[in-house]
């Protein structure tokens, strides 16, 4: 259980184009979804937190107009990188949280999407 998928797993695009990445919780309803960015050999950097039906909360320093997040349902969130540039090339990982016993929230991660902007 608690499977999270991402699509696509990798994408190559030209500079100036937009790219959409989907994140789905396959076997549970996620109250909250998170988007992370990971640079090579580094830890994960939280970009934003989104709840179904409301606006995402972005971390300091993350441009909300560049990284558009839509959380249309309890099982789907999308991240759109608008007007992508080579510096946006990275590994993007989503996670979905599920309430557990005693109110403990556990995040389950997708397999990641490798974005390369030429």
Chain residues binding another protein by CB under 8 A are 4, 6, 32, 34, 41-44, 46, 49, 93, 95, 97, 102-112, 114
CA-to-CA distance for 2 and 11, rounded, in angstroms? Answer: 25
Nearer to another protein, 17 or 106 (CB): 106
Contact (Cβ atoms closer than 8 angstroms) between residue 3 and residue 105: no
Q: Which is nearer to another protein, 10 or 64 (CB)?
A: 10
83-100 in b/e form (b: 16+ CB < 10 A) is ebeeebbbbbbbbbbbee
- Least distance to another protein from the beta carbon of 53, Å? 16
> Given the complex with another protein, which of 74 and 82 has the nearer CB atom?
74
């Amino acid at each position: 259980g608690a499977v999270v998928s991402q699509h696509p797993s990798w994408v190559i695009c030209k500079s100036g184009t937009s790219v959409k990445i989907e994140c789905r919780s396959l076997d549970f309803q996620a109250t909250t979804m998170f988007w992370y960015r990971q640079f090579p050999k580094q830890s994960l950097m939280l970009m934003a937190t989104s709840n179904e039906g409301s606006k995402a909360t972005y971390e300091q320093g993350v441009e909300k107009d560049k990284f558009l997040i839509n959380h249309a349902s309890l099982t789907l969130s999308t991240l759109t990188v608008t007007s992508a540039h080579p510096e946006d090339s990275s590994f993007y990982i989503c996670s979905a949280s599920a309430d557990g016993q005693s109110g403990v929230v556990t995040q389950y991660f997708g397999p990641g999407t490798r974005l390369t902007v030429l």
